[in-house]
Each structure stands twice: as C-alpha cells, then as structure tokens.
C-alpha cells in the first residue's frame, strides 16, 4: 500500500502546478483584456500603446498570484534576484504579446475592436507559453531536496499539533495517529504444590473411627 504522506509523483506535481498557473494566468488575462478595453475606451491611445499599459497591469497582478499562490512553496531567499528575473522575462513576454498584436493590426489589417481583441488574446496565449517555462525554470526556483524534506517534516509536525488540539483526550503520533496508552497485563495467580496440598486438606472429609 502506498503511504499517504509520500511526496506526489513528478507528473502529479506538474499537473497541480499547471492548474495553479492556469488559475492565476486566467485571472490575469481577464485583467489584461479589461484594462486594454478601458484604456481604449477612455483614451485616444493607439492599439499597441494601450495594450502595453494593460500588459504591465496584468504583470503586477500575475506576480502577486504566482508568488503567493502558484509558487508559494518555492525558494524565497533571493527576493531581489527573483524580482529582477521576473521583470526581465515579463518584458520579453510583453514584447511577444504586443508584437503579435502589432503584426495583426498593422501588418494584416485587423484593426476593428473585435479583431484587435482576438489578435491580442492570441498574443497573450503565445506569451503565456514562454512565461510558464521561464517563470518555473528561472524565477520561482524549486527548493533543494534537503529543504523539501525539511518542509515536509515541518508540515507533519504542524499536522500532529493540530491533531493534538483537535483530540485533547490523548497523545497523538505522527500525522495525527492516536497512541493508545499501554494496558496493564492481567495478573495470573500461580498455585504452588504446597498451596494445592493445603487446599486439598481443607476439603478432605474426616475419617470415621470405629470403636470395638
């Protein structure tokens, strides 16, 4: 039987990471598209300039989501390095995203509001693939195996402490498994031969004496 506390397989970790990345990225796409259309509606900026402003807003939103949700268990020791790399790779993603918009708008003539939104969405999709690879590989680094083991030990200790507070009636072992207090062994009375003979003497019937 597989231990429930064992670390998940690599495939399961990647699937979970993709799900979290997709959740934050999906919300970032909504922020990006909403900001783009608001800037276009309330200003006279060109398509690409409005898109650049919207992309910067979504980058800030995405960093908060990635740092504190998707990659909250990753290395936090070099925050300045992390911010620098995030800004660097996000700038490349910005160029990819808005380069697609520029090519579609001014190169292919897709300049209606609906067409620019579709082209921008495609640019976001292409840039997202690059961001996923760069963020997980360079920005939010995985902890070394020793640190991962330490994190698992701390997590197990926290679970044990929670189990103790949840079940205050007894001690709990690792992962909240209750320990039963040892029960005293039953006392068995041992009969010695002398005691057996004495007991037999007590139950022996008195002999009758015949007088002639």
Q: Please give the helix or strand (H or E) that residue 212 lies within, else none.
A: none
- At residue 28, the pLDDT reads 93
Question: What pTM did the predictor assign?
Answer: 0.59
- At residue 13, the pLDDT reads 79
Closest CA to 103 of 90, 122, 86: 122
Q: SS3 for 178?
A: strand
Low-confidence spans in the chain with pLDDT less than 50: 1-2, 4-6, 146-148, 150-151, 171-172, 175, 212
Place of tokens 């976001």: 124
Place of tokens 């640019």: 123
* Alpha carbon distance 170, 180 (integer Å): 8
Phi-psi region of 178 (alpha: psi -120 to 50; beta: other; left: phi over 0): beta
- At residue 165, the pLDDT reads 61
- At residue 31, the pLDDT reads 96
């Amino acid at each position: 039987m597989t231990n429930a506390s064992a670390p998940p397989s690599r495939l399961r970790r990647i699937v979970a990471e993709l799900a979290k990345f997709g959740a934050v990225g999906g919300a970032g796409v909504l922020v990006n598209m909403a900001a783009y259309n608001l800037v276009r509606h309330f200003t006279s900026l060109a398509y690409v300039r409005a898109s650049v402003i919207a992309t910067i807003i979504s980058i800030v939103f995405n960093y908060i989501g990635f740092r504190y949700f998707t990659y909250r268990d990753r290395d936090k020791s070099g925050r300045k390095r992390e911010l620098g790399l995030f800004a660097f790779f996000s700038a490349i993603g910005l160029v990819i995203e808005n380069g697609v918009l520029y090519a579609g708008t001014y190169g292919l003539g897709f300049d209606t509001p609906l067409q620019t939104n579709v082209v921008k969405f495609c640019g976001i999709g292409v840039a997202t693939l690059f961001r996923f690879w760069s963020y997980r590989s360079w920005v939010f680094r995985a902890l070394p195996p020793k640190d991962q083991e330490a994190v698992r030990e701390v997590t197990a200790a926290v679970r044990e402490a929670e189990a103790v507070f949840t079940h205050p009636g007894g001690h709990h072992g690792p992962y909240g498994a209750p320990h039963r207090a040892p029960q005293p062994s039953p006392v068995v009375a041992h009969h010695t031969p002398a005691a057996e003979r004495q007991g037999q003497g007590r139950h022996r019937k008195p002999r009758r004496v015949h007088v002639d």
